[in-house]
Amino acid sequence: MPVSLILLAAGQGTRMNSDLPKVLHPLAGVPLLVHAMRAGAVLGPERVVVVTGHGAEAVAKAARAEDPEVAVVHQAEQLGTAHAVAQARRALDGVVGDAVVLYGDTPFVRPETIEAMLEARAQHAVVVLGFEAADPGRYGRLVMAGDSLERIVEFKDATDAERAIRLCNSGVVCAQASTLFELIDSVGNQNAAGEYYLTDIVAIARQKGLSVGVVRCDEAETLGINTRAELAGAEAAFQARMRAEALDLGVTLIAPETIHFAQDTVIGRDAVVGPNVVFGPGVTVESGAEIRAFCHLEGCHVSRGAKVGPFARLRPGAELAEDVHVGNFVEIKAAILDEGAKVNHLSYIGDAHVGEKTNIGAGTITCNYDGVFKHRTEIGARAFIGSDTMLVAPVRVGNDAMTGSGSVITEDVPDGAMALGRAQQTTKPGLGLRMMQRLRALKAKKSEG
């Protein structure tokens, strides 16, 4: 049965006290909205609709960056959650199957939970995701009659008896898309907030004789972000979970509490990660690789047997083949390092290809930027780049070639050649000593006078 997603992301998020729309605040390196989109994407949705409002352009851009197929609809005025869902009607025109409503500010809902809801649809026309709240606060309350959900009452409209109910509404709901829009047509705004509540579809469905069911999940899953403090708390919870998962999967984390993961970090079994390592988005580390202390990795791939750091930075497009070594104070960007290549000290390698078993000496820099354009450096296999070589791109150094230390290489170096691009050394016998004596005498005279 095909499924479509409707992600509500129009709210301002006033309590974030931010110019950035709430759903674009990052959690584990990716916007809150993207967490919800990725959870939904696991279901292989037919269509995905994002409802924007505040900061619509930026929200649309982030949504499209994650999924170029996404339909973005605009809710000019935030008149309530039912009104927000109604904006998706045109975008879902003609789809068959179910629609699931998710919130852009609720990043932890698991795909398995949404799947359980879709399964429960076999018994019920509408399925709501509920949870037992430790402190139900201002959540909507689920009013049950046995196993049947009769209605949802919003906190503002609830009686004291209803407020005493601990079973709360997460906001996630699913129904056949056509049913959902039909039910929304009957929603009014005669309530304490003067809003069109999506939650009213439950009572409307019951009046029409439709069955409504509840799937329950852990409260942590439905956590919504409203403040910076909640965002920080969610980040901590997420990191704790990622660390535990990595350990379970057989990754050695020497000081787990100091490792920072991104939402999509993938690390293979028996990889070793030293203290204080930060993984930005898009990192994969193969089995048996070692990431030493104080490294920062983003958008890169580290193969089996490779050693990185301490104090290395791998930027987007860094691809390290097996047994590559990248040492301290080395930055790699958009560069492929073939098997067994070594860049061990104080280097910048960007927009480059380094052949297998090539050794890059300390302090080597690929001068890839002329102020306007970026240029490539190609280095062959088994080459030896002398310390402090400036490789002025575009430039090519052949297989088995060498460059002398301190060279500025501006012309291609053929296979097997040695290139020296530095001033000729001159040596004056005795001059060092004479110079020093003269300077010392001058200093003595000055301190007397």
Which residues lie near ligand UD1 (CB under 6 A)? 8-11, 51, 53, 75, 78-81, 83-84, 103-105, 139-140, 152, 154, 168-171, 197-199, 224
> Any residues with CB less than 8 A from the CB of 170 and at least 6 apart, and which?
106, 109, 128, 129, 130, 131, 217, 221, 222
Q: Are 155 and 141 in contact (CB under 8 A)?
A: yes
Q: Cα–Cα distance between 444 and 328 in angstroms, integer?
A: 43
Q: How far is the CB of 310 from ligand UD1 (least distance, A)?
A: 42
Letter string b/e over residues 138-159, b meaning 16 or more CB atoms within 10 A of that residue's CB: ebbbbbeeeeebebbbbbebbe
Q: Cα–Cα distance between 7 and 31 in angstroms, integer?
A: 13
Q: Cα–Cα distance between 21 and 313 in angstroms, integer?
A: 30
Q: Cα–Cα distance between 103 and 54 in angstroms, integer?
A: 14
Q: Is there a catalytic annotation at residue 345?
A: yes
Residue written as token pair 């000055």: 446
Q: Are 52 and 75 in contact (CB under 8 A)?
A: yes
Looking at the Cβ atoms of 21 and 282, the one nearer to ligand UD1 is 21
Q: Which of 54, 74, 296, 345 is catalytic?
A: 345
Q: How far is the CB of 323 from ligand UD1 (least distance, A)?
A: 48
Residue 94 burial (CB count, 10 A)? 7
Q: How far is the CB of 75 from ligand UD1 (least distance, A)?
A: 5
Looking at the Cβ atoms of 47 and 333, the one nearer to ligand UD1 is 47
Looking at the Cβ atoms of 187 and 318, the one nearer to ligand UD1 is 187
Looking at the Cβ atoms of 36 and 95, the one nearer to ligand UD1 is 36
Q: How far is the CB of 369 from ligand UD1 (least distance, A)?
A: 41
Q: How far is the CB of 344 from ligand UD1 (least distance, A)?
A: 49
Q: Cα–Cα distance between 342 and 358 in angstroms, integer?
A: 6
Catalytically annotated residues: 345
